[in-house]
Amino acid sequence: MPRARLAEWYLPDGAAVGAGDAVYRLECDAVAVEVEAEENGMLRHRLEPGASCGPGDVAGLVLAPGEAAPPALSESRPVSPSGGAEPAPLPPPVPFVPRFVPTAPPLTSDGGTRRPTPASAPFDGDPSPFAPAPAPAGAVAPQMRLTVRLAEANRLCEQLSREWIRSALAPSLEDVVARAVAMAIGESPLLSHLGESVSLLIIAAGEEANRVATVTAGQPFREAVAARSGAAPCRGRREPRAATVVSFISPGIDDAAPGLETGEPVVVAIGAPRTVASFDGDRVTPDTVATLGLSFDPRWLTIDVAANLLARIRDLVEAPCVLLAG
């Protein structure tokens, strides 16, 4: 039977989980799958990251309040009749290079080279070799999502708001996420073909107009915050960028994965923050989290690259001090 590798736990042992929360990622060959909790409760790990697992193996448990965990797997798993040892853990997966990344960039009319980006290689008929073929009618973009902790991001925003009080600049969670997306794309050689600019689209509540700003990984964080503060109203079709970050915080939508518009390789959605219970031994504390959703065009990046991108965005949001570089 095929076996998989438990690549990563998204939540620590003993954390509170809700039904639908992504708790860990399995990898097998070229496929990465996020496994979600089926009910509310407390998460208990049974396998360590990197462990090999197969059909019938228990990676973890979600316990109801007061429910005792069953015996550990090492105590309850029957011994193989053949007496053979457990299979060795699978080796780390080899990153896949998207098939449409060229071996050499094209030459411009003056003999220089140009870097393909979604803006220069749109989906609607550009003969450039870097543009994927038009999507079939009715095609649905693959989507994935996970939960991100916001304690450090909120702390960073509060600290910078105090430091920048004279300039009336106040960074927001949207600024942190957009910066994380731009940095995650910029640092990955598998995503360099997407370009460097990220659009931040802030969905407004009520009758207000949506706003859109542009963020790059090399832009100082303070400049990015200022650009978002003065963002222009967004009307009509979005301009293609390396990625689009869509914020549903203002209307209070906590879980959304928007579709792709023509020319968009990746769309990342940030939902409204919510408070969940976090377990630390016998102590229960509130924890602020949000849902990150990602929709992507598989003609621009493979599913494993998309999954690693989303995981990297989460890591940057949860440890946001690195976002101040630049």
Q: What is the CATH number of the domain that holds 70?
A: 2.40.50.100
State how many domains the chain has.
2
The domain boundary residue, chosen from 76, 105, 120 = 76
pLDDT on residue 162: 92
Last residue of a domain, one of 26, 61, 76: 76
Q: Is residue 101 part of a domain?
A: no
User: Among residues 88, 53, 90, which one has the least CA distance to residue 73?
Assistant: 53
State percent of the chain over pLDDT 90.
19
pLDDT score, position 292: 92
Beta strands 211-216; 232-233: pairing state? antiparallel
Does residue 233 lie within any of the structural domains? yes
Task: Select the more confidently predicted residue: 120 or 235.
Answer: 235
Residue 114 belongs to some domain of the structure: no
| Rounded Cα gap, residues 297 and 314, in angstroms | 20
The predicted-structure confidence for 233-276, as pLDDT tens digits, reads as follows 776 556 667 888 999 898 888 887 677 776 788 999 999 999 98
Which of 100 and 48 is assigned the larger pLDDT? 48
In a domain? residue 120: no
pTM to 2 decimal places: 0.58
Where residue 216 sits, what CATH number does that domain have? 3.30.559.10
Residues 42 and 164 placed together within one structural domain of the fold: no
Task: Let me know if residue 98 belongs to a domain.
Answer: no
Q: Which of the pair, 87 or 209, is modelled with greater confidence?
A: 209
Residue count of the chain? 326
Of 12-26, 93-107, 289-303, give the lowest mean pLDDT range: 93-107
CA nearest neighbour of 300 among 103, 94, 95, 123:
123
- Find out whether 157 and 170 touch, Cβ atoms under 8 Å: yes
Q: Does residue 30 register a pLDDT over 90?
A: no
Query: Is residue 128 a part of any domain in this protein?
Result: no
Instruction: Judge whether 24 lies within some domain.
Output: yes
The pLDDT, as a whole number, for residue 155 is 93
Is the pLDDT at 33 greater than 60? The verdict is: yes
* CB-CB neighbours of 126 under 10 Å: 13
Are the C-beta atoms of 173 and 291 separated by less than 8 Å?
Answer: no
Please check whether residues 181 and 276 belong to one and the same domain: yes
With residues binned 3-state (H G I as helix, E B as strand, rest as coil), the percentages for the chain, rounded to 5, are 20, 25, 50
- What average pLDDT does range 90-119 have in this prediction? 40
Higher pLDDT: 246 or 277? It is: 246
pLDDT confidence of 134, banded at 50, 70, 90? low
| Range(s) of the domain holding residue 64 | 4-76
Residues 47, 162 within the same domain: no
